[in-house]
C-alpha cells in the first residue's frame, strides 16, 4: 500500500501546503519565486502541492485551452522537479472535498472580511465585466485548501499575506465555535526567493496572466524567443551594468542572472564591466535558456505519454483525498450534519 500523507513516515516533519493557478503558462517569476523552493522543501517537509484549477475559473477561461493548461501545468511542475514520490502533487478539482469544505468555511467568513481583500479589489478592477461571487469568496476556498491537510506552514509571497491571515482567522473561528478540527497555519518565508519583475514594466511583477507576452518568460519559451524577449527588455538610458536605485530594469535582469548562474551582484558587475547592455542582455537570455533546457526536455517526455501522466495525477488525487475526506468528515460532524 502507498504511504498515506496524513501519516508521514517521519511524524516530526511539518506539513507544507502550496498551490499555483493554471491561469496561464508558468513563468520565470513563478519558477524563481516559488517553484525552486517547492522542490527544495520536499527534502525537509511533508509537502502537499496543488494545481489550483478551481481558483483559476474566478477569471473566465476558454474550456479547451483551460484543459490543456491544467495538464501542462501539472507536467511542468513535475518537470521542474516536484517529485511525486517525495510529496503530493494533485489537481484541485479532482479532490471534491475542497469545494465542499469551502462552502462550510464561506458560512464562517464575514462579508466585511472578504470585501477588504486587496486581490479582490485589484481583480475586480481588471475584470470589471465579470465580478463574480467566486472572485469574492476566493479566500474561503483558499482556506479550505490549506485546512483540509492540516498544514502547519504555507509559503507565501507578499501578495498572499492577507489571504493567509484570513485563513487563520477562519480556522480559529471554526475551532472556537465547533471545537478543535483545524491546524492554524503559520506563514513560511522561504530562505531564498526572488521577486522577478516584468520585462516590459520593471515596476510591476512578472505575471503569467499579463496580456503582453514580451513582459514575461514562459518556462516553455524556446531559446530564441527567450533571447529575443531579453533583447527587448526595458532598461534605462545608461550603459553601465550595475545595481542601483532607479535602474529597475537592470536590477531585475541582474537578479535573474544571479539566480540562474549563482553569481553575486559584484561578480556580475565585474563580468560586464565596460561591455554595455547589449552583451549583458544576450548573456542573461542565454543563461535562462540554459537553465530551462532540461526542464523543457523533461516536460516533453511527460507530455509524450499521456497515459502515464494520467496514472500519476489519478494516484496523486487519491492520495490527497485520503486526508481531505477525513478532515471534511470531522468538520461536517462538528457542524451537525447527519453522516
Ligand atoms: P496570476 O497573474 O494568474 O495571478 P501569477 O504569475 O501571479 O499568476 P500565482 O499562481 O498567483 O501566479 O502565484 C504562484 C506562485 O508564484 C506564488 O507563490 C507567487 O508568490 C509566485 N510568484 C508569482 N509571480 C512571481 C514573481 N514575479 N516573482 C516571484 N514570485 C512570483
Ligand atoms: Mg497571482
Q: Give 176-202 as a DSSP string.
A: HHH-S-S---EEE--S--PPPBPSS-T
Burial class (CB in 10 A: 0-12, 13-18, 19+), 16: buried
* Angstrom distance (rounded) from CA 267 to CA 40: 25
**All 3 cell numbers of residue 215?**
513582459
| Cβ atoms of 156 and 164 closer than 8 Å | yes
* Angstrom distance (rounded) from CA 131 to CA 142: 18
Residue 317 sits at φ, ψ, to 5 deg, of -65, -40
| Cβ atoms of 114 and 152 closer than 8 Å | no
Residues 300, 305, 310, 311: is their CA dihedral positive or negative? negative
For residue 157, pLDDT beyond 80: no
Please identify, by atom number, the ligand 1 atom nearest to the C-alpha of residue 20: 10
Give how far Cα 302 sits from Cα of 37, 39, 86, 91, Å: 22, 18, 18, 16
Give me the catalytic one of 36, 208, 281, 319: 208
> Could you tell me which residue, 9 or 128, shows the higher pLDDT?
128
Give how far Cα 109 sits from Cα of 81, 142, 335, Å: 36, 12, 15
pTM of the complete model? 0.91
207 CA distance to ligand 2 middle (Å):
7
217 CA distance to ligand 1 middle (Å):
13
Please identify, by atom number, the ligand 1 atom nearest to the C-alpha of residue 19: 14
Tell me the CA end-to-end span of the chain in Å, nearest whole number. 27
205 is catalytic: yes
Residue 273: which residues within 8 A CB-CB, separation 6 or more? 241
Residues in contact with ligand 1 (CB, 6 Å cut-off): 20-21, 23, 27, 29-30, 33-34, 157, 159, 195-196, 205-209
CATH topology of domain 15-188+306-335: Rossmann fold (3.40.50)
pLDDT for 11 equals 61
For the CA of 205, the nearest ligand: 1
For 41-82, how does the pLDDT look when each residue is reduced to its tens digit (9 = 90+)? Answer: 999 999 999 999 999 999 999 999 999 999 999 999 999 999
Please identify, by atom number, the ligand 1 atom nearest to the C-alpha of residue 52: 10
7 CA distance to ligand 2 middle (Å):
31
Buried b (16+ CB within 10 A) or exposed e, 71-100: bbbbbbbbbbbbebeebbbbbbbbbebbeb
131 in the Ramachandran plot: left (φ > 0), alpha (ψ -120 to 50) or beta?
beta
Best mutation site among 20, 30, 260 for ligand 1, i.e. most ligand atoms within 8 A of its Cβ?
Answer: 30
Confidence of residue 321 (pLDDT cuts 50, 70, 90): very high
92 CA distance to ligand 1 middle (Å):
17
* Angstrom distance (rounded) from CA 299 to CA 311: 16
* Angstrom distance (rounded) from CA 149 to CA 19: 13
Residues 132, 31, 190, 144: is their CA dihedral positive or negative? positive
pLDDT for 4 equals 54
Q: Residue of the nearest CA to atom 1 in ligand 1?
A: 209
**All 3 cell numbers of residue 200?**
516590459
198 CA distance to ligand 2 middle (Å):
13
Give the domain ranges of the chain: 15-188+306-335, 213-302
Best mutation site among 27, 73, 157, 193 for ligand 1, i.e. most ligand atoms within 8 A of its Cβ?
Answer: 157
For residue 181, pLDDT beyond 50: yes
Please identify, by atom number, the ligand 1 atom nearest to the C-alpha of residue 23: 3
pLDDT for 6 equals 52
Q: Residue of the nearest CA to atom 18 in ligand 1?
A: 34
Q: Residue of the nearest CA to atom 19 in ligand 1?
A: 157
36 is catalytic: no
From the options 1.10.240.10, 1.20.1530.20, 3.30.56.10, 2.40.160.20, give the CATH code of 213-302: 1.10.240.10
**Number of Cβ within a 10 Å radius of residue 113:** 16
pLDDT for 1 equals 43
For 3-49, how does the pLDDT look when each residue is reduced to its tens digit (9 = 90+)? Answer: 455 554 556 899 999 999 998 889 999 999 899 999 999 999 999 99
Q: Residue of the nearest CA to atom 7 in ligand 1?
A: 207
Amino acid at each position: 500500500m502507498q504511504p498515506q500523507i496524513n501519516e508521514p513516515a517521519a511524524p516530526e516533519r511539518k506539513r507544507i501546503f502550496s498551490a499555483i493557478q493554471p491561469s496561464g503558462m508558468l513563468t520565470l517569476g513563478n519558477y524563481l519565486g516559488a517553484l525552486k523552493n517547492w522542490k527544495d522543501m520536499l527534502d525537509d517537509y511533508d509537502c502537499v502541492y496543488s494545481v489550483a484549477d478551481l481558483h483559476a475559473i474566478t477569471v473566465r477561461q476558454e474550456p479547451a485551452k483551460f484543459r490543456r493548461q491544467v495538464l501542462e501545468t501539472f507536467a511542468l511542475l513535475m518537470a521542474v522537479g516536484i517529485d511525486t514520490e517525495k510529496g503530493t502533487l494533485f489537481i484541485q478539482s479532482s479532490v471534491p472535498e475542497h469545494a465542499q469544505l469551502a462552502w462550510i468555511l464561506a458560512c464562517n467568513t464575514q462579508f466585511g472580511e472578504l470585501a477588504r481583500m486587496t486581490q479582490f479589489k485589484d481583480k475586480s478592477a481588471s475584470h470589471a465585466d465579470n465580478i463574480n461571487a467566486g472572485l469574492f469568496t476566493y479566500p474561503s476556498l483558499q482556506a479550505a485548501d490549506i485546512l483540509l491537510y492540516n498544514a502547519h506552514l504555507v509559503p507565501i509571497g507578499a501578495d498572499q499575506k492577507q489571504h493567509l491571515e484570513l485563513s487563520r482567522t477562519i480556522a480559529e473561528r471554526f475551532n472556537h465555535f465547533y471545537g478543535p478540527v483545524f491546524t492554524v497555519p503559520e506563514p513560511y518565508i522561504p530562505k531564498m526567493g526572488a521577486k522577478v519583475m516584468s520585462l516590459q514594466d520593471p515596476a510591476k511583477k512578472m505575471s503569467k496572466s499579463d496580456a503582453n507576452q514580451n513582459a514575461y518568460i514562459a518556462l516553455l519559451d524556446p531559446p530564441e524567443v527567450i533571447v529575443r524577449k531579453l533583447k527587448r527588455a526595458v532598461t534605462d538610458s545608461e550603459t553601465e551594468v550595475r545595481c542601483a536605485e532607479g535602474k529597475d530594469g537592470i536590477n531585475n535582469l541582474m537578479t535573474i542572472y544571479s539566480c540562474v548562474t549563482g553569481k553575486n551582484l559584484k561578480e556580475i558587475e565585474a563580468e560586464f564591466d565596460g561591455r554595455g547592455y547589449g552583451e549583458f542582455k544576450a548573456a542573461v537570455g542565454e543563461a535562462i535558456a540554459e537553465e530551462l533546457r532540461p526542464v523543457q526536455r523533461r516536460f516533453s517526455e511527460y507530455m509524450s505519454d499521456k497515459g502515464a501522466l494520467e496514472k500519476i495525477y489519478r494516484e496523486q488525487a487519491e492520495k490527497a483525498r485520503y486526508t481531505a475526506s477525513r478532515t471534511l468528515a470531522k468538520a461536517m460532524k462538528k457542524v451537525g450534519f447527519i453522516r
